[in-house]
Structure 1
Amino acid sequence: MKTFAVRVNSDAHGWALEVPAVDRVAFARNIRDVAEKSTDLICAVTGLGAADIALDITWPLPIMETLHRIDEARRHRRRAQANEAETLRDGIRQLRECGASYRDVGALVGLSHQRIHQLSEG
């Protein structure tokens, strides 16, 4: 598999797709078509099949910055979810040690007693 760099820039009618390795430019009407149009261009110029091509797409800076912020927020959410799960399992254990039933623990933390039982075993 060969990787091709694709530089994407806003164009009056959509998106200009520059592929330096083949010294060509293509156009896409919307962002959803960028990968397909880039791949089609590379296939047409090189004779490679789509399965033999990987794309390294560089978006305009505002898009790259936005995607970075979204990725960071998602990583933060995953860490928070993992922390919540660990805290919940520890809390279930502590509440059970205090004599609370699965139903009581569920009522305290807002989950079903079945889910509390599952979490206590995991």
Structure 2
Amino acid sequence: MAAYTARVERGEQFWLVTIPEIQRTTQASTLREVEPMARDLIAVMQQVDPQSFELKPDIVFPSVAYEHWTRAAKLREESARAQAEAAKEARTAALALANLGLTVRDIGAMLGVSHQRAAQLIAGAAPDTALGAQATPARATT
């Protein structure tokens, strides 16, 4: 099966669709129209059925937005890592309090969560994460 690439770039008013293998260009009003327009162009120029070949779109992200989009993706990744670390620390704190003999109701009250959530945090903590918990009290600030 033949394969073609549809290089898609935003023009002033339309999406410009270039098929390098046949050195031809067409346009589309929306990204949704790109594939049918590219297939029609290739079918007419190569005299083949529009569904008889593979079409690989290569959409060029407009440069004015690309930097912002990649920064947003990086921030989402950092946020996910921070959220995972925060969850781990919450589980460790709950387990440390449980190791001090506090009830799940007291643990929930101290951590600002329900007693059911406190029990979940304790159950989800790795058994060795709070082994070093000391009985020295620390003041909680609220």
TM range (shorter): 0.7 to 0.9
- Give the TM-score of the pair, scaled to structure 1: 0.75
Does residue 19 (structure 1) correspond to residue 9 (structure 2)? The answer is: no
Go from structure 1 to structure 2 and tell me whether the alpha carbon gap of 1:39 and 1:88 turns closer, same or farther (over 3 Å shift): same
**CA RMSD in angstroms, aligned pairs only:** 2.5
Corresponding residue for 2:109?
Answer: 107
Shift of 1:88: 1.0
List gaps (5 residues or longer) in structure 2: 44-49, 125-142
**Percent of aligned positions with the same letter in both sequences?**
26
Cα separation, partners in 2 of 1:63 and 1:105, compared to 1, 3 Å: same
Q: After superposition, where does 1:2-81 map in structure 2 within 5 Å?
A: 4-11=5-12, 13=13, 15-21=14-20, 23-28=24-29, 33-34=30-31, 36-44=32-40, 45-46=42-43, 47-48=50-51, 52-81=54-83
User: Whole-Å Cα distance in 2 between the matches of residues 80 and 90 of structure 1?
Assistant: 15
Unaligned residue ranges in structure 1 (runs of 5+): none
- Structure of higher CA gyration radius: 2
Residues 3 and 114 (structure 1), Cα distance of their counterparts in 2 relative to 1, 3 Å cut: farther
Cα deviation for residue 117 of structure 1 reads: 1.3
The CA deviation at 1:3 is 7.0
Q: CA deviation at 1:10?
A: 4.3
